[in-house]
Amino acid sequence: MAEISGARILARNLEQQGVEYVFGIVGFPVVPVAYALQKEGITFIGMRNEQSASYAAQAAGYLTGRPQGCLVVSGPGVIHALAGLANAKENLWPMILIGGASPTDQNGMGAFQEEDQVAAAKMWCKYAHRVESHDRIPYYVEQAIRTSLFGRPGPVYLDMPADIIDGRVDEETIGTAPTVGEPPRTHAEPDSVRKAIAALKGAEKPLAIVGKGMAWSRAEDEVRQFIDRTQVPFLASPMGKGVVPDDHPLSVGAARSHALQEADVILLAGARLNWIMHFGAKPRFNPNVKVLQLDSYPEQIGHNVPAEVALVGDGKAIMGQLNAELADDPWRYEAETAWRTSIAEKIAANEEAVAGMKADESAPMNYYRAFRDIADWLKPDDLIVGEGANTMDIGRTQMPNIEPRHRLDAGSYGTMGIGLGFAVAAAVCNPGKRVVSVQGDSAFGFSGMEMETICRHQLPVIVVILNNNGIGGGVAELPEDGPPPPSVYLPTARYEKIAEAFGAGSFHVEDPADLRAALDNAAALEGPAIVHVRLDPKAGRKPQVHGWLTR
Ligand code: ADP
Ligand code: MG
């Protein structure tokens, strides 16, 4: 009779269900799980904080299209990882969190790190369950993976008590569960496809908004074809960037506010009209805008703005339907319209507005000057991670994305602290590619110790820290009398020295004239590095035309 442990059964089933990467921190009682994962050929990345590990797992899920794992210890380990569950729930990204739990025969006794982890996880999970026997492991893993992936993707949780992890049973008593396949790609009602095209044909100022739902559904070929076919201008959401390349002539990214405010018909494809899109409300949007809403999640239809046409189903499938309809009955938005002209003028005016800051060679430098060199230096297939208030917002406009799923940022939940966890996942899931994580100093602080993880695994991650000394800007020196202001950090901080501690490249830039060389030298190492860039603590965004634009 061959015996098998719960840890091994779990690892086998995760592997069977397509889990390739697990990020986590070991300790009681999950050490055997991590070893079992490695035995099954799953890559285990040991990290330094469970928050980062749970962020890494969901980014890996988004990038690979399958739920990836996070493994944590009982009690505090699970609690730290809740941050990732909440972020994954908001971003609609799949992941499976596996928490060790105190032994079942100590339930309620005040066991070491005892916690009602299933209840804690439930608030953010689509599915959360305790594994109470060895023979149920295949069933629970299948349920969890399928629930995470199908419908609207999201996080799931499995609770693994110590006695299940360590306990051994006769291998023959353990059955298998079916392997979860690709989620079904449902099509929209043919009538709604015709109605959507008819509405676009009647538009004076059409606009397509391309969100990360389209990136998730791998709809880039179909969306690119649709834009090229119809010549409708498009706006990418922050992580929808790259589904259609940012350098496409129909991108209105540099005239975002104008395009949103004026458009009369919007094809809203895999994006939500939440805070990122200003709820679709005036004065940001035309109050009479007709929304043609493409979403896989029926409950999303009409959220904040009633939909003129509902295209319910999978993004790739429906964009294919729209293209097929257009192939039968070709239509393209006119080449010369007042709408196109106004967008072009706005783009030119916005570029003009930042040209002075881009050319400003004074030290310490401003954001736009820093991004001028960074954008120039980036390679088209770099994975870009962006985090921090100004660093992320300005970086989004200044760093182009050419490929889909090559940008990760604070996302729908606006989470600070995702940076290095996401960078680890981006590097692990894309062997051979370079990851560039451009972070503010405050953002970097949340997960800076993951630099050790990056160095231990020799991941090609270049962290560029744009240091304005604090949250939304700081001071050049701490006040001599009185406590440091709440939003300010140590003005003399030299974050690049953290890289030195782990043998990575370490560069410090004060003068804008030295920035490009520092970036090139970091790149030449072909390994991890930090480029620390001292900014003017008062540097900010370009002045906005309306006060409400910065709200
Ligand atoms: P963004 O931040 O880019 O606006 P959101 O995450 O807010 O993106 O919205 C993405 C939308 O895409 C969600 O409403 C989600 O239901 C939808 N979605 C997710 N997967 C698919 C898919 N395969 N096909 C179509 N829509 C999808
Ligand atoms: Mg800062």
Per-residue model confidence (pLDDT) at position 541: 73
pLDDT per position as a tens digit, 214-225? 999 999 999 999
Looking at all shown ligands, the one closest to residue 467's CA atom is 2
pLDDT per position as a tens digit, 348-369? 999 999 999 999 999 999 999 9
Whether the upstream peptide bond of residue 479 has omega within 30° of 0, thus cis, is: no
Residue from 66, 90, 152, 209 whose mutation best tests the ligand 1 pocket (most atoms within 8 A of CB): 152
Nearest CA to ligand 1 atom 21: 213
pLDDT per position as a tens digit, 147-164? 999 999 999 999 999 999
Distance CA 549, CA 551 (A): 6
Looking at all shown ligands, the one closest to residue 535's CA atom is 2
Mind giving me the DSSP string for 303-370? SSS-EEEEEES-HHHHHHHHHHHHHHS-----SS-HHHHHHHHHHHHHHHHHHHHHH---SSBPHHHH
Task: With a cut of 60, say whether residue 547 has pLDDT above it.
Answer: no
How many angstroms does the Cα of residue 273 sit away from the middle of ligand 2?
Answer: 28
pLDDT (mean) for 545-550:
55
pLDDT (mean) for 113-120:
98
Average pLDDT, the chain: 96
Work out which ligand 1 atom sits closest to the CA atom of 277.
Answer: 4
Helices (H), 92-134: 117-122
Task: Identify the CATH assignment for 360-534 out of 3.20.20.70, 3.40.1280.10, 3.10.20.30, 3.40.50.970.
Answer: 3.40.50.970
pLDDT (mean) for 162-170:
98
Helix (H, G, I), strand (E, B) or coil at 492: coil
**Cα–Cα nearest to 370, from 357, 356, 383:** 357
Distance CA 455, CA 505 (A): 10
Architecture of the domain spanning 3-173: 3-Layer(aba) Sandwich (3.40)
How many angstroms does the Cα of residue 310 sit away from the middle of ligand 1?
Answer: 14
CATH 3.40.50.1220 residue spans of the chain: 190-342
Q: Residue 183 — pLDDT band, cuts 50, 70, 90?
A: very high
Task: Identify the CATH assignment for 190-342 out of 3.40.50.1220, 3.30.1490.20, 3.40.50.300, 3.40.50.150.
Answer: 3.40.50.1220
Task: With a cut of 60, say whether residue 98 has pLDDT above it.
Answer: yes
Model pTM? 0.96
Task: With a cut of 90, say whether residue 545 has pLDDT above it.
Answer: no
CATH 3.40.50.970 residue spans of the chain: 3-173, 360-534
How many angstroms does the Cα of residue 89 sit away from the middle of ligand 2?
Answer: 27
Residue from 148, 217, 235, 318 whose mutation best tests the ligand 1 pocket (most atoms within 8 A of CB): 217
* More confident call, 475 vs 286: 286
Q: Residue 1 — pLDDT band, cuts 50, 70, 90?
A: confident
Q: Residue 540 — pLDDT band, cuts 50, 70, 90?
A: confident
Phi, psi of 5 (to 5 degrees): -90, 160
Distance CA 158, CA 145 (A): 10
Q: Residue 549 — pLDDT band, cuts 50, 70, 90?
A: low
Task: With a cut of 90, say whether residue 473 has pLDDT above it.
Answer: no
- For ligand 1, residues with CB inside 6 Å are 92, 152, 211-213, 216-217, 237, 239-240, 270-272, 274, 276, 295-297, 300, 314-315, 412
* More confident call, 506 vs 472: 506
Residue from 126, 243, 294, 297 whose mutation best tests the ligand 1 pocket (most atoms within 8 A of CB): 297
- Tokens 């290095």 — which residue? 420
